[in-house]
Each structure stands twice: as C-alpha cells, then as structure tokens.
Amino acid sequence: MTAIQGKRILIGVTGGIAAYKACVLTSRLTKAGCDVHVMMTKEAKQFVSPQTFQALSRNPVHDDIFTEKNEHQIAHIDLADQADLIIIAPATAHTIAKLAHGLADDMVTAAVLATKAPVWVAPAMNVNMYHHPAVQKNLEIIQTYGYRVLKPDSGMLACGWVGEGRLMEPDAIYEEIEDYFGQAHQKDLQGYRILVTAGPTREKIDPVRFLTNHSSGKMGYAIAACAQKRGADVLLITGPTELDPPAGVEVIRVESALEMYEAVMKHFDEMDAVIKTAAVSDYRPKAVSDRKIKKTEDHPKIELVRNPDILEELGRRKTTQILIGFAAETHDLDHYAKGKLEKKKLDMVVANDVARTDTGFRSNDNEVTFYFRNGDIRHLHKMPKAEVAQELCNLLTEMLDKKKGSV
C-alpha cells in the first residue's frame, strides 16, 4: 500500500487553458489509487467538458453549487469535510483573488472556505498577469491562511509570451502530493524530544517602548510543526509573534532574552536536540524606566548591557544534545557562520542572508546554507520555509540516529 492510496483528493479546476493538464493529474492520481473528485467553475467548462473528468476520475463532477447530485448531501460541505487535500489546478488570477478575499460564489471557492483540509493552489496565467502586484499580493494573502502555492514554471505560454505563469507540470504536482502523504506517514522523529526557539525578543525601555528586531517566527514555527508531524515531542519557546502555534506542540511564550534564557535552561536537560531559530537581542537597556520617558531638549542616551548568549551557554552545558543554531547575516555569511559553529560548539549552523528582502525575515521563503562540524557545506535554493523545515528535519534525523547508534 502506498502512502497516497485511498486518499480523497479534491481537484478544483478553474477557467484557464491549462485546465487540460488537470486531466493528466486526475488520471495519474486515480491510477495511483486515490479517490479523486473534481470540481469545476463554469469558466473551466469552456475549456474541458465535465464528462472528461468524470471518465478519468470515475466520480461525478461537481460544477454547480446549487445542483445537488444527491439530495441527502450538501455537496460543497461534504466534499470539503471528507477531503484529505484540496488542490486548485489551474488557479486563475480571478480565483486566487476570490480565495484571498473569502468569496465563495462557485463550487471551488465554497469548498475551500468550508474545508479543514490542506489547500494547495497552482496558479496558471500570462506572465504579466502573474507578476501584477494585485496577483502577487493575493498569493501572499492566501499563504497567510496556510495555503500552499505551487509556483508556476517558466517557459512558452499559451498566449505567446515567454516567462513565468505556466502551470506546474502534472507529473511534478503528482510528486509533490506523493511526497506530502509520504511525509505524513514518516514518523522518523518519534521518541525524540526537541526544543525549538522562535521569533524576536523584546527588551523593555519603559512601559510603552522596547528594542526588538524583524523576526516573524515563521521559520521556527515551521520547524516545530514539521518535527511534531514527524513524531517528535516538541517544545516551542517563542518570543512575541502573530502566528498560531502549530497543533500538538507545547508552547512557552516569553518576551525578553532573559526570560527565554530561563525557559530554555529549565528544559535543556530533557532534550535530545535544540534548534535555535530565535533572533535573540544581544543587548537590553541597563535600566528600565517604570514611567514613560518624556521628551526633553537634550539628546537622551539609552545605556545597553549584554544579554547572555543562550546558545553559547548550551554549547558549554551540552552532554549528548544536538545543537543547531541559525546565523542571520547581512554580509560575510560564510565567515560568520563558521565562526558561530566553532564558538557555540554547534553541530550545524543554518545561515541566511537577511539583507535580502525576498527571503529571510517575515518572508514565507528562505534560502539557506547548512554548515556542518566536519567542514561540509550544503546550499539549498530558495524555497518555502515549510520545505526548509523538512530538509532540516531530514538532517536532524540523521544526526540523532547516528548519535543513538554510537551510544
């Protein structure tokens, strides 16, 4: 039995020429043993007939929100409830806009609003449409709902333009789906206790002001979620973020570097690995005013004192734990990453260039380089943080298993 056999996959087809590629995807998934149900918008039917999808999926096609094929069911709710995954392929600019703003005037968008299943969106459109700020903004918005965007390919488009906008190839989409369900089955971190720190810290100046940084916590939360899904017992110690904590993860919320220090030290001994993605403030104001500081005519100075380096302290205290640090740099990445690996006695450093605006802080993507103790270096191309988390968990599993084997 393969990981995707028996999975109920809902494919939402919207009105673009790439709708014909959704036929190939439907066929591949059905042949692999998935229970595929296709929903179509009325525009999609301009390109491919519902009968094609019905024949390929061997299930009725849902193309009208008001026509119930079974009077005992409300189709868009039932489909949404029973899906293991919803994938919209191709997703037009118009459908993406509707998803971003919660509109639900057809089968596809209504089912997406009603589902608790993961939602993937595979855009396909003209290159200029794809790069229009409105479309890019809407793609960003839907990612904040947790939807995964399958980046379109570059190449010759049906409209004659060459560039980004071509629907990801059906075979590549199929492989993503196969990987996704494969990983859901993978419990290779079962039995390990993992501490992840995430987000920024806040260092109080007075009751209304603090020092902080741009960390959003997204990388750390993605790692915590991934490790938990792969069976680990995860403790997430997080600075203030706007993110919802991942399901099944124990969370301790802190504000300052000193609070994070206390929480991490308290739990360190029980851990098999620590992953420190948090952007910890190196300094805090020496004195915290208990009253709001009022402006004056002179040039006020805030005197700062050093915060403890949490990771460096873990490096000193560690017994059998694996320690993974992050290095956020704006220049000389290689030099500083290697320095941190040595100084903090880490097993691995994950370095990223925070001067870039398309990755790193706040972004949903990251482009990282892994530095290992034996001098090995591995660079990953730019990818969603959830995928960086998968790669990191693959490496962590290897390190933990190796350590277990050697004791």
Assess whether 159 carries a catalytic annotation: yes
Comparing CB distances to ligand CTP, the nearer of 36 and 257 is: 257
Angle between helices 170-185 and 19-31 (to 10 degrees): 40
Choose which of 168, 328, 348, 393 interacts with ligand CTP (CB under 6 A).
328
CB-based contacts of 351, cutoff 8 Å, min separation 6: 326, 327, 329, 333, 334, 336, 337, 368, 369, 370, 371
Shortest separation between residue 256's beta carbon and ligand CTP, angstroms: 11
Q: Is 327 in the site for ligand CTP (CB under 6 A)?
A: yes
Decide: is 47 part of the binding site for ligand CTP (CB under 6 A): no
E strands, 14-114, in order: 35-40, 85-91
* Residue placing its CB nearer to ligand CTP in the complex, 276 or 385: 276
What's the distance, Cα to Cα, between the start and end of the chain in Å?
35
- CA dist 196 and 214 (Å) reads 18
Phi, psi dihedrals of residue 239, rounded to the nearest 5°: -75, 180
Q: Which residues contact 152 (CB under 8 A, 6 or more apart)?
A: 122, 123, 124, 125, 130, 164, 165, 166, 167, 168
Least spacing, CB of residue 6 vs ligand CTP, in Å: 41
Minimum separation from the CB atom of position 254 to ligand CTP (A): 12
Residue 250, H or E segment: strand 250-253
Site string for ligand CTP, 272-311 (x = CB under 6 A): ----x-xxx-x------------------------x-xxx
User: Total binding residues for ligand CTP by CB under 6 A?
Assistant: 15
**Which amino acid type is present at position 104?**
A
CB of 382 to ligand CTP, least distance (A): 20
Minimum CB separation of residue 282 from ligand CTP in Å reads 5
Catalytic residue among 23, 34, 159, 226: 159
**Whole-angstrom distance, CA of residue 229 vs CA of residue 221:** 12
Instruction: Choose between 89 and 349: whose C-beta lies nearer to ligand CTP.
Output: 349
User: Concatenated DSSP letters for 189-203?
Assistant: TTT-EEEEEESB--E
Q: Site for ligand CTP (CB under 6 A): which residue of 340, 352, 368, 396?
A: 340
Quick check: 135 and 93 in contact, CB under 8 A?
Answer: yes
Closer Cβ to ligand CTP, 14 or 201, answer by number? 201
Binding mask 241-260 for ligand CTP (x = CB under 6 A): ----------------x---
Residues 360-389 close enough to bind ligand CTP by CB under 6 A: none
Residue numbers at the binding site for ligand CTP (CB under 6 A):
257, 276, 278-280, 282, 307, 309-311, 325-328, 340
Q: Which residues are catalytic?
A: 159
